[in-house]
Copies of this chain bind each other. A is one copy, B any other.
Amino acid sequence: MTQTAPRTLRIGELAELTGTTPRTIRFYEEIGVLPAAEDREPGKRRLYSEADVERLREVVRLRDLLGLSLEEVRELAEAESARAHIRREFQETDDPEERHRLLEAALPYIERQLELVRGRIGELQKLEEELVARRKRVRTRLREQ
């Protein structure tokens, strides 16, 4: 019943789809930002799924948009990883109470990211207001010649 997504992408393709490089992907795996590609004998190739594309895209956004360090990304990614794990368990259990508990556990990780994003948006809006005010002062003086 547990259907796994098809792992058909190779590292170069994943890199292309996410705007990264193979080296970056291996490095992220090495430091735990990305999980090791599953069921892989050493020396063999890494294979990825669509879900891995989404995941890496999210890492990149946390890195670039929020400026998180890879260490900080890793902490959040562990949460992501926990969510993935939760989802997997979720599809293997039929106990309704268990399902409820698992879903509830998934929420805080999303909330945390929302907090970070909204906090940053707020700071940027404050900066925006200041810039607009500055521009207005200059324009006013321009109209007054």
Contact = CB atoms under 8 A, between A and B. Distances in A.
Interface of A: 61, 64-65, 67, 96, 99-100, 103-104, 106-107, 110-111, 113-114, 117-118, 120-121, 123-125, 127-128, 131-132, 134-135, 138-139, 141-142, 145
A134 B121 contact: no
Can you tell how many copies of this chain the complex includes? 2
A58 B95 CA distance: 55
A130 to B, nearest CB: 9
A110 B135 contact: yes
A141 B65 contact: no
The 3 closest A-B pairs by CB, nearest first: A67-B67, A110-B135, A103-B142
B138 A107 contact: yes
Given A65-B123, A110-B138, A124-B124, 12 more contacts: A61-B127, A65-B127, A103-B138, A104-B142, A110-B134, A110-B135, A114-B128, A117-B124, A117-B127, A117-B131, A118-B128, A120-B124
Nearest to A135: B110
A92 to B, nearest CB: 16
A118 B125 CA distance: 8
